Amino acid sequence: MAVEFVHSFLQGMTRKTDGVARKSIDPVLADRYARNLDEFGFDYTLLGYNSDGLDPFTVASRVLARTERLKTVVALRPNIMHPTVAAQALATLDQLGGGRTIVHIISGGSDAEQRRQGDYLEKSQRYARSAEYIEILRRVWTETEPFSHEGAHYRFEDFGPGSQPISGGPLPISIGGASVDAFDVGARLADVFTLWGEPLAETRTQIERVRTLAAAAGRDPAPIRFWVTFRPIVAETEELAWAKAERIVDAAAGRLWGTNRGATPTNVGSVRLREIAARSERHDTALWTPPSIAGSGGASSLLVGTPDTVAEAILAYVRLGADLISLPSVGNLDEAIDTGRYVIPRVRELLARGPAAVGA
């Protein structure tokens, strides 16, 4: 049983020039961040996307040039780039990086955020567009002759044959969400289905739901991989870890969460996290869903404890079927290094012991 680890890449820093806040990136810090993720055992880094954020394709090219084994997950909204253009750009990244690129399709959970870049489709329409987009991406990567397409959202004539990823086949495609539309599209088309960090019982139900829908659509659910996201906070003792977690949440709530310009996210995943937090803050052995940040945007579920406690908690999700565990730090490179130094090796050590350690 294999598990891989993901870390979100360094987000753009906000700097004020003449009183105007704009996103920027420090290339020296970005290079250091990438090399540390590469060195300390992370398998992937997610290059996120926001309407006012940094371009993930450009950042991915920098990361690939500065690392040896780290894979890049490029977040992509279908409304910002035609699928044939995106397919070519992704294949180019994959070729330059030696086969280290996958793509995460974002249909869009916030109407307001989508409209900032001129996208006025309703949510169900956005997921339908994502499904068409994915089918075109895969055709660009695999068709050996020029082809045309006429669908509900895209139309073109005589394209191709397109550039291929190094593998010769399609790049892995990740899809996430908690709505009915997300589960429908993901079960039919995703190579990887992404989930926010919920308690074990809820996570089990969601994984089973994807597999059931995939089978109902005539697809073998076995190859679908599952990606679950938490922010780890570790220390030498349980008491120190919880004290540290409380300090971090109090200090960082406005900086790392609540990034929707004061608006409360209404997407199903965020609503679920708020409901879980209202029911109880602490779950299972290490999961904390603080009501002050739960569902407020981004990864708001935390795993808290000693490295052993957090590793055992991660292993419980692996038992459910999680193949990728995303462990973004709370905005601090030192926290990422601690995760890579103490938590990831412990999880891999437990997995190396075989089925007896992983459990049924």
Give the pLDDT score at 47.
96
pLDDT at 13 over 80: no
Structure tokens belonging to residue 144: 């050996």
Could you identify the residue written with the tokens 């200090």? 251
User: Do residues 15 and 334 make contact, with C-beta atoms less than 8 angstroms apart?
Assistant: no
What stretches of the chain adopt beta strand conformation (E)? 4-8, 13-17, 20-24, 44-47, 71-76, 101-105, 147-150, 155-159, 173-176, 192-196, 225-229, 231-234, 282-283, 287-288, 302-305, 322-326
Domains of the chain: 4-230+303-358 (3.20.20.30)
Three-class secondary structure of residue 108 per DSSP: coil
194, burial (CB in 10 Å: exposed 0-12, middle 13-18, buried 19+): buried
Give the pLDDT score at 20.
81
Q: How confident is the model over 21-58, as pLDDT tens digits?
A: 788 889 999 999 999 999 999 999 999 998 888 999 99
| 1 against 129, higher pLDDT | 129
Percent of the chain with pLDDT over 70: 93
In this prediction, residue 360 has a pLDDT band, given cuts at 50, 70 and 90, of very low
Q: How confident is the model over 189-206, as pLDDT tens digits?
A: 999 999 999 999 999 999
Mean pLDDT of 206-210: 98
Give the pLDDT score at 92.
98
Give the pLDDT score at 14.
64
Residues 112 and 119: their CA atoms lie apart, in Å, by 9
| 12 against 339, higher pLDDT | 339
Nearest Cα to Cα of residue 143 among 127, 129, 158: 158
Count other Cβ atoms within 10 Å, centred on residue 342: 18
Residues 37 and 9: their CA atoms lie apart, in Å, by 9
Q: How confident is the model over 59-105, as pLDDT tens digits?
A: 999 999 999 999 999 999 999 999 999 999 999 999 999 999 999 99
